[in-house]
């Protein structure tokens, strides 16, 4: 069974860079699409972007200028960097795996809350 676990600082200062890592167990990241999705408190889900097993990436247009998703296949991890954060970036951040083809998310991490505050 594939399991995903987010890790990283729970508090980030405004204007700094948010960095999170997703560690995958029970399966290789050398297949499928690996995504980051966030959810501000009390609000809905927002797709941030993905990295494909080939290494190609795709990002939400609204975040594209500030987002980088990368991977470390030797550690079976992928990561998120979001620059110049503001309070609006406060959210629970999830990592998830999308299926090939129609893109449903069956496997999710538990999520990690990141608060942007000085």
Partner 1 sequence: SYVLTQPPSVSVAPGQTARITCGGNNIGSKSVHWYQQKPGQAPVLVVYDDSDRPSGIPERFSGSNSGNTATLTISRVEAGDEADYYCQVWDSSSDHLYVFGAGTKVTVL
Say whether 26 sits in a helix, a strand or coil.
coil
Strands 77-82 and 18-25: antiparallel
Q: Which is nearer to partner 1, 74 or 104 (CB)?
A: 104
Backbone angles phi, psi at 35, to 5 degrees: -120, 160
CA–CA separation, 68 and 49 (whole Å): 9
Collapsing DSSP to helix, strand or coil, 89 comes out as helix
Nearest distance in Å: CB 2, partner 1: 13
Residue count, binding to partner 1 (CB under 8 A): 23
Would you say 106 and 99 are in contact if contact means Cβ atoms under 8 Å apart? yes
Which range, of 12-20, 21-29, 81-89, 97-105, touches partner 1 by CB under 8 A?
97-105
Using DSSP, state whether 55 is helix, strand or coil: coil
Query: What mask, x for binding partner 1 by CB under 8 A, covers residues 62 to 91?
Result: ------------------------------
Return the residue of 54, 61, 74, 88 that touches partner 1, per CB under 8 A.
61
Q: Quick one: 57 or 68, whose CB is closer to partner 1?
A: 57
Q: Which chain residues interact with partner 1 by CB under 8 A?
A: 35, 37, 44-47, 50, 58, 60-61, 94, 98-99, 101-106, 108-111
């Amino acid at each position: 069974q594939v399991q995903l676990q987010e890790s990283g600082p729970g508090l980030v200062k405004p204007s700094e860079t948010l960095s999170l890592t997703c560690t995958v167990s029970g399966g290789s990241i050398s297949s499928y699409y690996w995504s980051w999705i966030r959810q501000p408190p009390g609000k809905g889900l927002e797709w941030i972007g993905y990295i494909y097993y080939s290494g190609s990436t795709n990002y939400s247009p609204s975040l594209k200028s500030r987002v980088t998703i990368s991977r470390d296949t030797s550690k079976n991890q992928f990561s998120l960097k979001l620059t110049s954060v503001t309070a609006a970036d406060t959210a629970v951040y999830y990592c998830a795996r999308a299926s090939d083809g129609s893109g449903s998310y069956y496997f999710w991490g538990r999520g990690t809350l990141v608060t942007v505050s000085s």
